[in-house]
Amino acid sequence: MESIKKLLTRFWPTGGLLLGGLLVIIYIAFGFVYLQQAPKQKELEEQITRLTLVVARPLPSSEKLQAEYEEINSALAPMTDSDAITLLVGIAEENGIDISEGSSLFRVRSASFSQVEVGGGDYQLLSFKSIYVQGDYDSVMAFISDLDSGKTLKTMVLKRVATTETEVQFTGEEGDRRAEFRKVAAAVMDMMDDIALSEIPHPMNLAGDIATNLMGDDPDTEETVEGFPDITTTAADRGYSGNTTPRAGYVLYNHDKISTDNTTQFETVNYIDVLTTNYYYTCEFNGTVRQFDGADVATATEYLGRAASKMDTIATVDVVIYTKLEE
């Protein structure tokens, strides 16, 4: 026993150091393990948080699920070719496409039929190829978006889209209206340039609430002075110094133009070739012309377009409509 005590006394310092070193190594090892687990623990906590948010969401009521089920069943109801075409025409019209037969801006051919098995059930496919739709960009894009999103029919699938741009000339009544608008506006500018007029002194403008379709003085109404765009400015105001009486104002038809070289003389000129126009007009001080369908500006419709042509978007699309087979 005495020898054992001496042995322990002899080796105790060394053993203590070894034991302390071992404890330090174990502590460091656990530290590394903890540091490695921290990111995984954080990721796990984030996953738990996301799952908690999902679980916390209220489940749809049975009534809502039943309504959605019935809606899908209704959308999958058997559909004839003519019913599907009527649906497509309605979508086009709702989104601003001119579907009138004479316009030829919307064309759809009969569908081809096929059958497919999905999830153990048999379904019929109505395939419409190369549906032609033409109109302004926003209307055509709205039509395509409706088909693609299933807004009108959830069982409709957009398969292909091709678009291009085309220039369209205005014809018929619309073309005539725009042409007259351009003619009157150009005549006002021609008159102002011809007599070096920077501003029309007393124009028949929008603030006056009256538009006119008389471009000059009507000979059948001698008691009334008519004309466009200015019937107020006198010949004296325009610099006339002769002994006769030129027509007052700055008008487009039968305008008495006072000579700048000799203010006692004038000549009658036409800046437009008609006395009466089909539409009614006002003019601002700077020569800006506006067009209306009547003389009373407060109740008349104003027309804004005057360009001879416009850019249309043309799209050709393929769609497929899934339906149940008729029992």
Quote the DSSP letter at residue 310: E
Minimum mean pLDDT among 32-41, 159-168, 246-255: which range? 32-41
Ranges of each domain in the chain? 74-169+312-324, 173-307
121 three-class SS: strand
List own/partner pairs for 49-55 with CB under 8 A and 24 or more apart.
none
Higher per-residue confidence, 146 vs 66: 146
* Cα–Cα distance for residue pair 56/61, rounded to 1 Å: 15
Pick the CATH number of 74-169+312-324 from 3.40.640.10, 2.40.50.1020, 3.30.70.60, 3.40.718.10: 3.30.70.60
Higher per-residue confidence, 48 vs 86: 86
Query: 11 pLDDT exceeds 50?
Result: no
220 three-class SS: coil
* Cα–Cα distance for residue pair 32/24, rounded to 1 Å: 12
**Reported confidence tier of residue 116, pLDDT bands at 50, 70, 90:** confident
Structure tokens at 132: 């032609």
* Cα–Cα distance for residue pair 208/297, rounded to 1 Å: 9
Query: 74 pLDDT exceeds 50?
Result: yes
Helix (H) or strand (E) segment spanning residue 48? helix 2-56
pLDDT for 8 equals 47
pLDDT for 250 equals 97
Torsion of CA 228, 233, 236, 237, to 10 degrees: -120
Q: pTM of the predicted model, to two decimals? A: 0.67
* % of residues, the chain, pLDDT over 70: 77
Q: How far is CA 305 from CA 28, 170, 176, 177, 298, in A?
A: 83, 11, 12, 9, 19
